[in-house]
Structure 1
């Protein structure tokens, strides 16, 4: 036993250990005094070498453990070689300091350290044949004699892995070479595993030709230390063997091969073999013939499957059959970008990257997180698929090689390619070192300070290693994200504008191919817009070149990229000389993204914006998209009317306010819809629908108030001989307007005291007519149609009545449907007192004290049935018409209104003009079951959203889904469906409204 060191010497040793990076010099000092290290404890070379490892404390623990399990003779040989041979010292201690798992392996196999003692030239970069030879010796040679075949393979695999890790941590190989060696070792391992399976099942091996196709990182020669190894199996019968028999035999061989690699034994496990990239995934047969593979790919495969095949290579089994498979599928890979659904699939793949990140891990994800490895890989592969059709130099299965080829061909800028290469190498190195520690599959940055310190030191960071690591990681992640966002688009600018002297530029054909692949239907037109926006040396063009790469990406994510780019050019042309415009887009990130979303989502919002481009400012203001209150809107409109010269100019000013606010509402609606992840069947969108309905109703009320003020002022100044009010009806009174709704109203007046009743009536009639004329004047602004057909006697009745006339009519002549229409009556403009008295007048009609008699109920049901049969447009699909169709707006509203008229007198909460509020009140009063209420509410909200979407997308109202495929896709995007899921959207609509109709049949028609 070693004597305690003198205090002075111990203090000196501790100081040296701290200087060399030990974090627990007291515990490590005791380890240095361990008997197993007695012959080398005072050797300064050893201490210095430990200090060069990722974790000196861990390296020393591993060395002591390794020395203790050696025989006395082997221990002295180990320690002697360790002190005298720098290659072994660096390799062994480097591995012990970086990998606790490989230290465990060395302790379990004490002689395996000897594999690190040599430094032959062939050992620098071994390939598959060298690994095959090493594994064969470990399995069938002397080393494997005492183990089962599987355990012998595991031990031999870890021994080979030991050499790869040693070269990696010592810097003998870079990250790309390490990944290639790991892939070659995996290839050799698969071959050994298949040989073991064939040895155990010689009958199966005799009847089938089985080829193993490497996919993913294994196929691309860029494997991780710990990763699933993706494969596809293809088989053919040997001569004279039935195909079914051969496939069954090949399946048994393949399954056994997979278990050899993935089973857990006392020697641990190697890695799972994953065959889920095969046709039909887990649901498909494990092994297929070549013809079966081809039939699937030619008929059923999705774009991501061809993207996966980009990395396919033969790794084990019958090499001839494997090459036949690769030769057969390769042409299909390079035709993938010409497929009809390529754009849809690409967008879905991009979204899937983000969707696969657990929220709690997004900030630690090296692979899937923003600026992670997947961003680089996806970008490179997509560019390969687009341009590799005509450029064979791009057809590499290895990410970094493909990136180099893309740069050489001018498809990626040289500086971007260099930055992306550096970031990818850094991130892959991080991933490798994190996995190496425990040999566990993970892509998460550690949180523990000691783990981060070890990781940073493994990368050569010695001064403030943890802070340095975090800064460098975040910097590379930002670079990847920045370049990823512009990678597809910056070269397009190079194609139309000379940006950097000597920069290789895309040809017009290549630029067009890229635009087509990203969803632009008119690539020639798109390039023309880019040239107009980005060419030149002006400051404006320079800012556009900064903005466009990101904007083009947002346009490409929409249902109509061409419309988005065209709209942006028009807005930029209109505001190009305005100093704040481009500065706003450049400096306020939300403004640029919001503008891109609005311009590419449909026709209504861009049309509004192009009539008043200065409204772009709303997109960047903190509360710019927040709807304004009715009082504030009315105050602004009345002030504008007061400043105008004449009634027509006054209403034009009011319309200008309405146009701006209509844009605000539409923009907020569109941008909010883009943030929705769930489909309408999964999430209640009622709050958004209510917000839009209220905003539009408030806006129209303010506009009507302005038209009323203008009409009165033009002829009477402030001395109109009657008090005049406007009552909102239908959706207007219910705060449920759609973008394309008319404004249903009643005009009511009450002669002033002492005024002549006939003169008052004439004045009221003249005001109502003038209001309608002014609001219907030809204009580029969206029209606001005033509809007074719900008045007593309809179109044949007087346009305006006095309160007394309304009272007399309703007392003597009112029909049930007129009382029903009054359920949504609410004053919207004009004299408040007259409006209040009108509501007092009609309340007994719409909420009758005695409820509804059976005759009245029959009248309502009969009228509803007649409306369904007569008013539905000829040829319209009754299951898809949002207003009059099965389970649509009319079904829900009439059901709710029947409940209001029956029970409104007894239940005050039912006395509301709003459909959803009345439905909730009926539920709370027990008049309708909670589940039925939810069903009706869901159908009403969905039908309303569809109507809003149609108007936003087409720029004109409609009650059915559009027939045009691009417009239908845009409606789907608004409703929260990914592109390509239009069928799902239509099925959901039919299902939801069908359930609503069942409730209506029960509640409205009485079963």
Structure 2
């Protein structure tokens, strides 16, 4: 074959190209191999790869037939399917009579695959992800197949290790850490391994038994030797065991109990960082999965853990010191703006939020970055930039290592190697490549500083709030403290100082460990300096100090507030604006997470997004883990209710939207609770039967009444619910523990109520009121639709039909929902005697006002005769919310037989619109009633956020009350 000049290679690489051509020709001649029948394009590819990679050239010259067979196999031109590498290696190891043969086959296979992977990488026939996956799959296969071979040999020699308690054969669990664990291995990576086994015991089946620890220690040593030892054929993989407990000074293998105790009692922050990527790469996969579940709480804390940033920052500082000491700024992994900084960014979010956000419990870095964008932790544009930069650096890393199969991340310092690297990366010259590389490193450094950098590092060594440090530490005279507090704007300096002292001397702070106290001492001056920026610093102290005391023993929250000045400002402003928010944050500090993203905080999601987000959260939780499901539901509700309240305070959500969001939130939760309970019931009891004998697929609906049905939920509203089903109540379900249909759906209703009302560490979901079901508290918990219809037709009181106006199917069977709506329409659309109706409505209104109102009007007086000096109950007093609701309900019951469209909606505003459209109410009256209704509800919402009852001064809303009472009188209704 005539050698061809490769025009795409720079002229400066001509000598390397010619060297490759000569070496290949000589190798073929020495081994008497006829020139392979390659196409000119294939030969050009080969010479290009050999010019750029000394490793490929050396392997080709050393074993030309290997290279020829590899080309002939077609594997250079396609991606391998999952499992193909393991299958190929297992075929190679079928005839391994001894360890020397095992070593030989491992190394020969590794060299062949390494050539294939480098070839495809340099020719850009494989993407970064494929290269990393193939390398990781090769390491997995080499490690596991070598382990299986050695385990069999050891069992023959020493017996089979048996668990002391389980009495079952034991296997080693090999954890792959770092890049191997994340399927991100580079072209010349070490493999970081940790060895463990399930339980102690002894071997059986040999003349002399061995302790399991000794058996697996010997086996681990043999495994390391099989992979790591350098022979004439090179090595399979360099093995690094320093990430194991106690590092190089610790035992080589650990039982599950020993490894759990180590991480629980002595695990350090950097070990949490390392364990993020841990994956079972060899040995017993099932036991390994159990081990990872045991270790997960060590890695992912259930609370927000901003202390992780401190740990990562310390690690980065140590790395930077080492880089400077060894003059390693050209190291694209460890130097500023290097690969490690991208990893730190991703892992900072994982360690902080991963305990609660299960979507972050992943290993591959690029997937994590995508999740950060999708979940709103980082802007999408920043994530895109980081991913592009990371890919560029990883391609550069592979290029450096492809040249000689050396473990290096340092840029070359000779012109020839520089131009070779630039050429591999697709650049015409070194200067252009270096400029692009430095651009990406600067962008990584910028994003890294935004996430990891110390907020005080740009303050010229000046502590933020340093002027308040003597106050907090009580190192100045008391008169000076009072004067500083007064000058800062405190109205009552003595009370302010008393509150500060109560915190500092309180039991929670006194019980803090040293690290926690250091964090509090660093945080308090910062907090005090921000508190005085508020218009009412006295109120800030009153409401925020209880929160600080509540989190004092979990000082990671103090780190969160210290690390994120914007969050601290939001805490101060929201707590000052609402004692309800202050109480929520104090009771559930995990909600501080919601304050991290200001844009997300003040933009609650729409109904479909709410439902999808909650469904996604729950999908990540094992279906049998009811406790975690319940806590996830509760945190979801707390978080989104806080976002709605914050948006209401900020003025970004009007009243009607607040109620919409709170109602959507309840519906999303009910949908998932119903789904979870249904699955649980079916697992236990099977499917109930329909009347025709066929299996019933959730013929069940949850109906919302009152504020929930009327889409008018407030911050503290309970849920008025009714459960309706449609099945054969006597036929038994088809599961392992059959029960009849009526019992099935009654238990389902009970279980739904339990999931909603049970109080966990995250509180309860909702209080549930079932008194509006047929026959009230004495009735069945769940009713068939026919029984519900019969009750409404024959036994229901007028007030129950009034309640039915606001009834709305929330979740459940669409078919049954349609049938319920028809029943509701039929009941409400009956013609009624108006005088009887007016009397019933007036009587019920009088009872409510007598039992719940503030009695500012007396029976028998003119409806306008209320005392404006007495408090006004927005809901119950005459002229208030209930009057408007009763008038609307009276109108629907009076006229829906003529105007069935009045029954379409369940909320008062749209029903009033319908009354105006049919000229049943004047446009003036409708507009007035709607404005009064919204004004009353807005005031009630504001009072709820201030933790006050829905009562205002009597001189407020006087005109509105008069107007409402006038309409009441015009309709012929009375206050009795």
Same fold (TM over 0.5): no
